[in-house]
Amino acid sequence: MKKVLLFLLCLLLTASFSGCARKAAVKNTVTGNMKTYSEMDDGTWMCDGYTYKFRLEITGKMPNAAVDSSFVWLSNVESISFEQAYHAAGVSSSSDDYFPPEKAVLVEMH
């Protein structure tokens, strides 16, 4: 009898811990000019099945440009410099300058 009660108690505790996680719901969907992405109700962002902590709007002037350029990146990196942003947006010929999709994704470019 003690073994059965112990087993049921362990089963109950396991179920209570595994059932606590709540999946974030979509708060807002944005159609960017590069990709469509979603703001989640827990403050994260989603695009192409990846979850990102930050939405970064990065503005600056590329070399020899007449006007500023702006990039919107969803990212798990808290800060991306303007130089990194425009290189990773397709300017660079080096694959080292590009972000893997789990790290950052370009969703808008102006």
Site of tokens 């970064």: 56
The pLDDT assigned to 37 comes to 98
pLDDT band at 4 (very low <50, low <70, confident <90, very high): low
> Side chain identity at 3, as an amino acid letter?
K
| d(C-alpha 72, C-alpha 21), whole Å | 30
Strand spans (E) along the chain: 26-31, 36-40, 45-47, 50-52, 54-60, 69-75, 104-109
Average per-residue pLDDT in the chain? Answer: 88
Task: Write down the pLDDT at residue 38.
Answer: 98
User: pLDDT tens digits for 37-86?
Assistant: 999 999 999 999 999 999 999 999 998 999 999 999 999 999 999 999 99
pLDDT value of residue 12:
53
CA distance 23 to 104: 21
Residue 2 pLDDT: 67
79-104 burial code (b ≥16 CB/10 A, e <16)? ebebebbbbbbeeeeeeeebbeeebb
How much is the pTM? 0.79
Q: Name the residue ranges covered by the structural domains of the chain.
A: 23-109
Please give the residue that has the higher pLDDT: either 60 or 8.
60
